[in-house]
């Protein structure tokens, strides 16, 4: 292979090396939970508690996951009550929704969701990146709303990268999903396919799944990418 020669104009001191090492820290499991009334709860590695019955669900919270457990089969007649989980830069977190669907949130991500789902579609709102493992329910489609459109599924595993300053990348691991918006219509994905949607149009392509969902297992995969990436 080719040799790479690197020349520094000034030496790097020990204090500089220590600063660099301290600046590049691994991500931690942390998030902020916002309740319907605006109350916020900070979740980190020391957090562990049981929030008794929030609007029909018992919520168990620890340092890695928020678990919404339905305690009553009675569906509220008024409109659903929503919670929101947000992860900071360098943070990630997981939650188990009341229907059993598991969501893994990457850094700088926000998910707004009903505390309990009613008999209609199971709809959540995403800003950022998340991996969904959806519990199958043919009578209640699961819908993820993003700033450029929505993804509809019955039961499947998929990843959505939907930060507001970029395109929306929907990557299907298994099952079947469709991305739809008023501007592009509908894109149906099969396993291994990815839909890329922006304000300028859309594209469907085959991808290496590890490159787009490896982060869920703590792996970032780069194949034939420039060093800058």
DSSP for 130-198 reads EEEEPPP-TTS-EEEEETTEEEEESS-EEEEEE-TTS-EEEEEEES-EEEEETTTEEEEE-TTEEEEEE
DSSP E strands in 17-147: the ranges are 28-29, 31-34, 40-43, 49-54, 57-61, 65-70, 82-86, 91-96, 102-105, 110-114, 122-133, 142-146
Q: Is the pLDDT of residue 207 over 60?
A: yes
- Indicate if the pLDDT at residue 19 is higher than 60: no
pLDDT of residue 1: 40
Residues 195, 202: contact at Cβ < 8 Å? yes
% of the chain exceeding 90 in pLDDT:
51
What is the band of 3 on the pLDDT scale with cuts at 50, 70, 90?
Answer: very low
Q: What is the pLDDT of residue 49?
A: 72
Residue 2: pLDDT band (50, 70, 90) is very low
Token pair belonging to 119: 């008999």
167, 184 contact by CB (below 8 A)? no
What pLDDT is attached to residue 208?
93
Instruction: For residues 166-180, give the mean pLDDT.
Output: 93
Strand partners, 131: 104, 159
Is residue 6 very low, low, confident or very high in pLDDT (cuts 50, 70, 90)?
A: very low
Tens of pLDDT, residues 66-105:
999 876 655 555 678 899 999 999 899 999 999 999 999 9
Structure tokens at 88: 């900071």
Q: Does the structure show a pLDDT above 70 at 159?
A: yes
Give the range among 11-20, 41-50, 131-140, 212-221 with minimum mean pLDDT.
Answer: 11-20
Least confident of 14-23, 124-133, 152-161: 14-23
Q: What is the pLDDT of residue 130?
A: 97
**Per-residue pLDDT, 166:** 83
């Amino acid at each position: 292979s080719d040799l790479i020669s690197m020349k520094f104009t000034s030496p790097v001191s020990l204090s500089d090396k220590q600063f660099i090492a301290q600046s590049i820290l691994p991500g931690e499991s942390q998030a902020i939970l916002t309740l319907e009334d605006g109350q916020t709860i900070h979740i980190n590695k020391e957090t562990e508690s049981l929030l008794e019955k929030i609007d029909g669900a018992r919520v168990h919270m620890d340092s890695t996951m928020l678990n919404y457990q339905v305690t009553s089969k009675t569906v509220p007649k008024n409109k659903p009550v929503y919670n929101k989980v947000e992860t900071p830069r360098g943070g990630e977190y997981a939650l188990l929704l009341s229907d059993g669907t598991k969501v893994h949130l990457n850094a700088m991500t926000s998910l707004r969701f009903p505390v309990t789902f009613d008999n209609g579609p199971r709809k959540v709102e995403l800003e950022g990146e998340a991996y969904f493992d959806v519990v199958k329910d043919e009578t209640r489609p699961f819908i993820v709303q993003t700033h450029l459109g929505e993804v509809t599924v019955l039961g499947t595993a998929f990843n959505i990268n939907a930060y507001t300053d970029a395109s929306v990348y929907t990557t299907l691991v298994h099952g079947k999903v469709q991305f739809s918006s008023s501007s592009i219509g509908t894109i149906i994905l099969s396993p291994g396919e990815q839909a890329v949607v922006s304000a300028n149009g859309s594209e469907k392509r085959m991808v290496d799944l590890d490159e787009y969902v490896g982060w869920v297992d703590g792996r970032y995969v780069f194949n034939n990418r420039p060093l800058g990436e």
